Amino acid sequence: MNIQSLVEEFIKINDGDVEDIQVFFAPGRVNLIGEHTDYNGGFVLPCSLQVGTYLVVRPTIETMLKFKSMNFPMTAEVCQNQAAQPIGNEWINYPLGVVNEFHNRKLPVPGMELLYAGDIPNGAGLSSSASIEVVTAYAINSLMQLGLTNFEIIKISQLAENEFVGMQCGIMDQFAVTMGKKDHVVFLDCETLDYELVPLQLGDYKIVISNTNKKRALADSKYNERRSQCEKAVEILNEEMNINNLSDLGVDSFNKYKTKITDPVIRKRAKHVVNENQRVVDAVKALKKGELETFGRLMFESHESLKNDYEVSCEELDILVEEAKKVEGVLGSRMTGGGFGGCTVSLVHKHQIDEYKKNVGENYIHYTGLIPEFYIAEIGDGVKRIL
């Protein structure tokens, strides 16, 4: 992203000069393993990317917040001191939700002109929503010198999505976007928010993100339905034990009590969460030991569980994973993100990446008629001011 061009576009749209203009950046994220464990109080292993959301902002003496985007045509102007209402399914709901959370905390919000620009592929499941939320909260905190901690920025951003947008996401996305570090993964306990930045040492292997280019509609019933099913499983199991969430269970404990869950669908949902949580722990151990083949095997196992037990995959994601298995030099592959479309993440030897793109791409087009996109994941830092 050319920052100077972005600033020039901001001036063209809003008039005036460059005085008082500031630029902030929040990355997207990809989760290497640990899917749908975050809102179950479990472990996740995401990393922040070098693509993300840029925000050019200038405080004003007016009472209005003026939202514009280089990626979407929808614009809005709202009074900075008045609670707003969601606007359909528009992108503006993410920053509006953040502003609403500042109001809920009785924290001041200045009049502002805001221009957003993102280079995260739309609908790819790489957390563009959390990126927008975090960059907005971080910018307001900086402009008003409120002294909010990164943990407060994370919580404000998550609540914006939960309460304003209506998406009952866990805390992983906002945490990774805020706390990520270049060439590291974030090993996060979503219950306690204890975390460790683990160096990502992949040697001759690269992380390749493959976009199905299938339109996703994750903020609808399916995601929230899965969360409700997990809560039901906890309710049933608490007739025999005392747990706060499914991730309080080890694999052995779950296998001992799983027959208490008589609904086979709810039992499968719980099975995925418990086993996926253990896979994250095992994956971190493998990563620290340099056992990349073990790490890759766990990725494949994760996808099978998401496909068969949690049922959040789709034909397009499954084809990408199955075709990846056929390519020499691929250690592991799995869907990443909420599911029902979006991307897979794969561990591919650097000398096999061209073959991976060619073979997987051609076969994917043959089976689906869709044209996939491939990205080499470059791991970057979390949210920051850049100008």
Catalytic amino acids?
173
Q: What are phi and psi of 372, to 5 degrees?
A: -80, 165
Three-state secondary structure of 86-122: CCCCCCCHHHHHHHHHHHHCCCCCCEEEEEEEECCCC
Query: CB-side exposure of 225: number of CA atoms within 13 Å?
Result: 9
Alpha-carbon span 255 to 239, nearest angstrom: 16
What token pair was written down for 30?
Answer: 């990809």
CA distance 179 to 252: 33
Which residue in 222, 158, 221 sits closest to 188, CA to CA?
158
CB atoms within 10 A of CB 338: 22
Residue bearing tokens 């899965």? 226
Structure-token pair, residue 187: 């090993």
Tokens standing for residue 147: 């002294």
What is the rounded CA–CA span in Å between residue 303 and residue 63?
Answer: 49
Q: Measured between alpha carbons, how far is 28 from 383 in angstroms, rounded to an integer?
A: 10
- What type of residue sits at position 87? I
> Across the strands, what pairs with 59?
112
Taken as a whole, the chain contains a residue count of 387
Dihedral sign for Cα 121, 122, 124, 128, please: positive
How far apart, in whole angstroms, are the C-alpha atoms of residue 273 and residue 305?
9
* Residue whose C-alpha is closest to residue 161's, from 225, 208, 93: 93
Q: Which of 244, 225, 236, 231 is nearest to 311 (CA)?
A: 225
